[in-house]
Amino acid sequence: MDLFSNLATGFGVALSLQNLAFALGGVFIGTLIGVLPGLGPVPAIAMLLPSIYTLDPTAALIMLAGVYYGAQYGGSTTAILINLPGESSSIVTAIDGYQMARKGRAGAALAAAGLGSFFAGCVGTLVLAAFAPALAGIAFAFGPAEYAALMLLGLIGAVVLASGSVSKAVGMVLLGLLLGQINTDPLSGVERFSFGIPELTDGLGFVAVAMGLFGFGEIIGNLNRPSESREVFTRDVKNLWPTGEDFRQAMPAVLRGTALGSLLGVLPGGGAILASFVSYTLEKRVSKTPERFGHGAIEGVAGPESANNAAAQTSFIPMLTLGIPPNPVMALMIGAMVVMGITPGPKVMVENPDLFWGLIASMWIGNLMLIILNLPFIGIWVKLLTVPYRFLFPSIVCFCVIGLYTLSNNNFDIYLAGVFAIIGFLFIKLRCEAGPLLLGMVLGPMLEENLRRTLLVARGDWSVLLTRPISGTLIALSVVMLVSALLPAIRKRRDNAFRD
Amino acid sequence: MKSFFASMAIVLTGAMTTIPNMASAQNRIFVGTVAGSDLDGLARRVAEVLAASDGSRWIVENRPGSGGALGFDAIKSAPADGTTLLMAPSGAMTLTPHTRGNLKYSLADVAPVSRVAGFDVAYIVSAKVPATTLKAYIDWVKQDNSRAVFATPQFGGIPHMFGIKLGRAAGVPLDNVAYRGGGSQLITDVVGGHLLAASSGVAEWLREHQAGTVRILATSGTKRAPQLPNVPTFQELGYKDLVASISYILMAPAQTPKATIDGIAARVNKGLTDAKLREALTAQGFVVDGTANPATVAADLRAEHKYWGDLVKETGFKMPN
């Protein structure tokens, strides 16, 4: 059993005092970054890099990896507590997580997210250890046509995300697609809907829009209520720990989310975000009581959180086995490896087994540290919610504005969030959900780009989308989902189920 | 353990210094991209070199947006006293002004300090393409027009113009498929054979070339790229006019006194002679420079400005706005 002897080597490396300290430091910084709204792991790692060039490469990578998955972990905390998804993969967590928090079940939501992430992280790491070379090829099977089909599936899934009426959900997705058109068209260099404002030529910043719609919109919505009924969070916080019933409901969701995330994480680009969306969609589909979704269903927290954490682990596969970074964080880690004299690629496993297996083993240890670090914090976080709202909301706004400014050292993102705060408030008044809009905004440009690349390469022949096996299958799935959403009989039943 | 706490301290101070007003006493290098790009990484190295040379404090401030134009906005309104610098790719001053009609900066707004490092443009084919030489590739494309497609990291950049020029010189109508600033999707698409060829900076493709998943057919320098001694240049292959490079230039606001600029240039260029730093940057795919004085860099940029201006006129290429 090579795997076991390799893992033994890995644990031997990862359990040294120095590497344990770096893993702890990494996950601690990561958690901090994840919890602070607007602050992402990329700038943090970019700033860390010069100082770690002199370190032992294994220790340095263990710490950087810790920052990365620690941030994934910490991101769900603000999504659940104050409806502020710090990154695209925690939008879904905010939907049901925040509703749970409002019902006094923030502790259960945080624990479900934490335990689900821990389980998914462990399984994802195991997948990484056992199947890395085999899974690496998936990335190459996905060309522009396959991405276009995958994004289409994601967008149609977005309609299922919403718990209100189908027509509103479709409207929000379309609005999101339109907002996604504000950018410079990557294939022709045309500036679209930028009205001469240079900041708009790179598109609307996801974090600014999400903060405005979710975070600020929600705050205005709360302040709009008379002060007696403003305390959104029940003071009598029910059991901090999930109940047996919770565990029973969350467990299958965690398993499915982990499987989905492990697979989709291998894809470069939107792997983690799609994994969380697809997981939510799937949970709602298979649930016997889909009407609970959007009103605090624990599966809606546990599933997507597991999916995005499993994806965070398996996204190391293309980086470690091929030297191809699936996201900016990995690109920085590759840069660090190169500077330290390690050539990323298939040979790392052979030439630097200590580093390869040590890093993998450290992920288990890091995940364990995260759960140990975070579970005791749940009590503190939940206490935070009992702070009177008049003190709580100015501090949230303050942290958000700082975070927004640091995105690009530019006031524009703050103004943008301000505009979307008003829009978010309108959405609350109109009972429209912002989740599908954000998904449309994120996936729309990716769909467009890849579809046009497909057609450019195929010289305008649309049939490639159907004749290529992976994209054909994904499109068939999309059609099935669309038909089932539109079939009158099903829709009627759905609308009845969702009428509240 | 000591280095561990030291790096923690650096992270925390680093996090503080992203809020510029708290760090007004510091010198700044603006970068027109997000943190983590190769340009940003290089700027951070330059900041270290400057700090080490006389104990001054330097931070890198990212001003991403509008294809790097916001970095130029920042430097235009910055004090011209040597406390504020900008790092940007040469093409932003030599090519973009010809193609973008609405640009609010020009070469005249900045005073070059140092050409820090750069790399050539490479023409890359997927390993799934049968051709192993540029000539064989061109013949292979001529057999079937549907093969005449090449990818570039972005629309209207130097690799894109270079690909257009190659197509004209070789007599094949190469169509461009642009990506969003390069990155992994471009590489996986070419390795996976979804796109068969690409014109792109050398640095990103070295590993794939060495692994044999793509082939670099030729590079664009006057000399072969140091990391690729076996890959010919376009000039060697008979394309005399196909010369280009992408270099990262450190510059100051245009009104900065000459003595100040020369002083900074001397510090940076001396720092770039450090063997360890050179080795690390070379491994990342850069060709470290720092040999030319500010006046030479300025002259070179003006010549490059004319080269791309002529090519843009010749091809009628224009960004559509």
pLDDT in tens, chain B (321 residues): 445 555 555 444 444 444 444 344 689 999 998 887 889 989 999 999 999 998 889 999 999 888 889 999 999 999 999 999 999 999 999 999 998 878 889 999 999 999 999 999 999 999 999 999 999 999 999 999 889 999 999 898 999 999 999 999 999 989 999 998 766 788 889 999 999 999 999 988 998 898 899 999 999 999 999 999 999 999 999 999 899 999 999 999 999 999 999 999 999 999 999 998 998 898 888 999 999 999 999 999 999 999 999 999 988 887 765
- Alpha-carbon distance A323 to nearest alpha carbon in chain B (angstroms): 8
The C-alpha atoms of residue A130 and residue A113 are separated, in whole angstroms, by 25
Residue burial B200-223, b: 16+ Cβ < 10 Å; e: rest: bbbbbbbbbbbbebbbbbbbbbee
Please tell me which of the candidates B6, B40, B155 has its beta carbon nearest to residue A187. B155
Q: What residues of A are in contact with residue B177 (Cβ under 8 Å)? A: 187, 453, 456-457
Q: Is the pTM of this model over 0.80?
A: yes
Interface probe for A, chosen from B58, B72, B161, B188 (most Cβ of A below 10 Å), is B188
**Separation of CA A486 from chain center:** 28
Q: What residues of B are in contact with residue A143 (Cβ under 8 Å)? A: 189, 192-195
Nearest CA in chain B to A46: B36
The C-alpha atoms of residue A425 and residue A421 are separated, in whole angstroms, by 6
Interface probe for A, chosen from B150, B164, B185 (most Cβ of A below 10 Å), is B185
B78 reaches A (C-beta below 8 A): no
Nearest CA in chain B to A198: B66
Provide the pLDDT for residue A496: 57
Interface probe for A, chosen from B44, B84, B102, B189 (most Cβ of A below 10 Å), is B189
CB contact under 8 A, B45 and A449: no
Angle at B26 between CA B22 and CA B28, to 5 degrees: 105
The C-alpha atoms of residue A444 and residue A441 are separated, in whole angstroms, by 6
Nearest CA in chain B to A267: B185
Nearest CA in chain B to A449: B179
Evaluate whether B39 touches B33 at the Cβ level (below 8 Å). Answer: yes
The C-alpha atoms of residue A218 and residue A116 are separated, in whole angstroms, by 27
Q: Of chain B residues 284-303, which have a CB less than 8 A from chain A? A: 284
Please tell me which of the candidates B65, B189, B320 has its beta carbon nearest to residue A202. B65
> A–B: how many Cβ contacts below 8 A?
187
CB contact under 8 A, B320 and A142: no
The C-alpha atoms of residue B78 and residue B63 are separated, in whole angstroms, by 13
For the beta carbon of residue B260, count every other beta carbon within 10 angstroms.
Answer: 16
Q: Of chain B residues 231-270, which have a CB less than 8 A from chain A? A: none
Nearest CA in chain B to A410: B63
pLDDT string in tens for chain A (500-residue length): 577 888 888 888 888 989 999 999 999 988 888 887 767 787 778 777 777 777 888 888 899 899 988 888 888 888 888 888 767 778 888 888 988 888 888 888 988 998 999 999 899 888 888 887 777 777 788 889 998 998 888 888 777 666 667 788 889 989 999 999 998 888 888 889 988 888 898 888 887 888 888 888 888 888 887 766 655 555 556 667 788 888 888 899 999 999 999 888 887 666 677 888 888 888 888 888 888 888 888 999 999 999 988 988 888 888 887 777 777 788 788 878 877 777 777 777 777 888 888 988 998 899 899 888 888 877 777 777 777 778 878 888 888 888 888 878 889 999 999 999 999 999 989 988 887 888 888 888 889 999 999 999 998 899 999 999 989 998 998 888 778 766 654 555 555 555 54
Q: Which two tokens stand for residue B165?
A: 């020029």
CA distances, A45 to each of A22, A84, A413 (Å):
14, 22, 22
- The three state secondary structure string of chain A is CHHHHHHHHHHHHHCCHHHHHHHHHHHHHHHHHHHCCCCCHHHHHHHHHHHHCCCCHHHHHHHHHHHHHHHHHHHHHHHHHHCCCCCHHHHHHHHHHHHHHHCCCHHHHHHHHHHHHHHHHHHHHHHHHHHHHHHHHHHHHCCHHHHHHHHHHHHHHHHHHCCCCHHHHHHHHHHHHHHHCCEECCCCCCEECCCCCHHHHHCCCHHHHHHHHHHHHHHHHHHCCCHHHCCCCCCCCCCCCCCHHHHHHHHHHHHHHHHHHHHHCCCCCCHHHHHHHHHHHHHHHHCCCHHHCCCCCCHHHHHHHHHHHHHHHHCHHHHHHHCCCCCHHHHHHHHHHHHCCCCCCCCHHHHCHHHHHHHHHHHHHHHHHHHHHHHHHHHHHHHHCCCCHHHHHHHHHHHHHHHHHHHHCCCHHHHHHHHHHHHHHHHHHHCCCHHHHHHHHHHHHHHHHHHHHHHHHCCCCCCHHHHCHHHHHHHHHHHHHHHHHHCHHHHHHHHHHHCC
CB contact under 8 A, B41 and A46: yes
Letter for the amino acid at A449?
E
- Alpha-carbon distance B65 to nearest alpha carbon in chain A (angstroms): 6
Q: Smallest Cα–Cα separation from A213: which of A184, A167, A175?
A: A175
Cα of first residue to Cα of last residue in chain B, in angstroms, is: 56
Q: What residues of A are in contact with residue B194 (Cβ under 8 Å)? A: 143-145, 457
Interface probe for B, chosen from A47, A190, A195 (most Cβ of B below 10 Å), is A47
The C-alpha atoms of residue A199 and residue B73 are separated, in whole angstroms, by 12
- Alpha-carbon distance B295 to nearest alpha carbon in chain A (angstroms): 30
Evaluate whether A205 touches A407 at the Cβ level (below 8 Å). Answer: yes
Q: What residues of A are in contact with residue B154 (Cβ under 8 Å)? A: 186
B137 reaches A (C-beta below 8 A): no
Q: Smallest Cα–Cα separation from A29: which of A64, A76, A54, A58?
A: A64
Q: What residues of B are in contact with residue A42 (Cβ under 8 Å)? A: 34-36
B188 reaches A (C-beta below 8 A): yes
CB contact under 8 A, B320 and A318: no
B142 reaches A (C-beta below 8 A): no
ipTM higher than the 0.90 cut: no
- Exposed/middle/buried for residue B66 (C-beta within 10 Å: 0-12, 13-18, 19+): buried
- Alpha-carbon distance A219 to nearest alpha carbon in chain B (angstroms): 25
Q: What residues of A are in contact with residue B211 (Cβ under 8 Å)? A: 323, 345-346
Provide the pLDDT for residue A237: 60
